[in-house]
Amino acid sequence: MNTLNNCVEQESFLPQKDREYLAEKGFKYREVIEGKVKCLIIEEYSLPEGKYNVETVNLLVKIPNGYNDTPPDMFFCYPHLKFSNTNVDPPATGGRFSFDEKSWQQWSRHSNVGNDWRPGIDGISSHLQKVNAALKKG
């Protein structure tokens, strides 16, 4: 177990299917627990070209208790994103979340069991499809 700042990186809490997906896609990621909060942090996550003030972000996904029967809710970006053409924050990104000694920009995009999340079937790949759609839309 490695301690980094106030966060603890330890053995994986993600299902094998998710770890295989992340590895297959070549993502550099960490599974971090701070207090009782489990988060997946994907480093240098690519953004739609020219849309935001940066080309990549660190992307944080909170992993809820009961995952993957329970979907991740929202996602978080560091650094905070602004539209490159207006320097304005995207809609519904005003919330902040402190984790890993950073202030993360909250993107309020929600999944619902039975609507767009299939318990026990969907996983990180499904959630990242929603993240990508939200980042493309802004």
Determine if the peptide bond prior to 68 is cis (ω within 30°): yes
When divided into structural domains, the chain yields a total of 1
Residue range(s) defining the domain that contains residue 26: 2-137
pLDDT of residue 20 exceeding 90 = yes
Residue 11 has pLDDT above 90, yes or no: no
What pLDDT, in 10s, does the model give residues 36-47?
Answer: 999 999 999 999
pLDDT > 90 fraction of the chain, expressed in percent and rounded: 81
Band (pLDDT 50/70/90 cuts) for residue 116 is: confident
Cβ–Cβ < 8 Å for 87, 21: no
Whether the predicted pLDDT of 110 surpasses 80 = no
Per-residue pLDDT tens digits for 72-101: 989 999 999 999 999 999 999 999 999 999
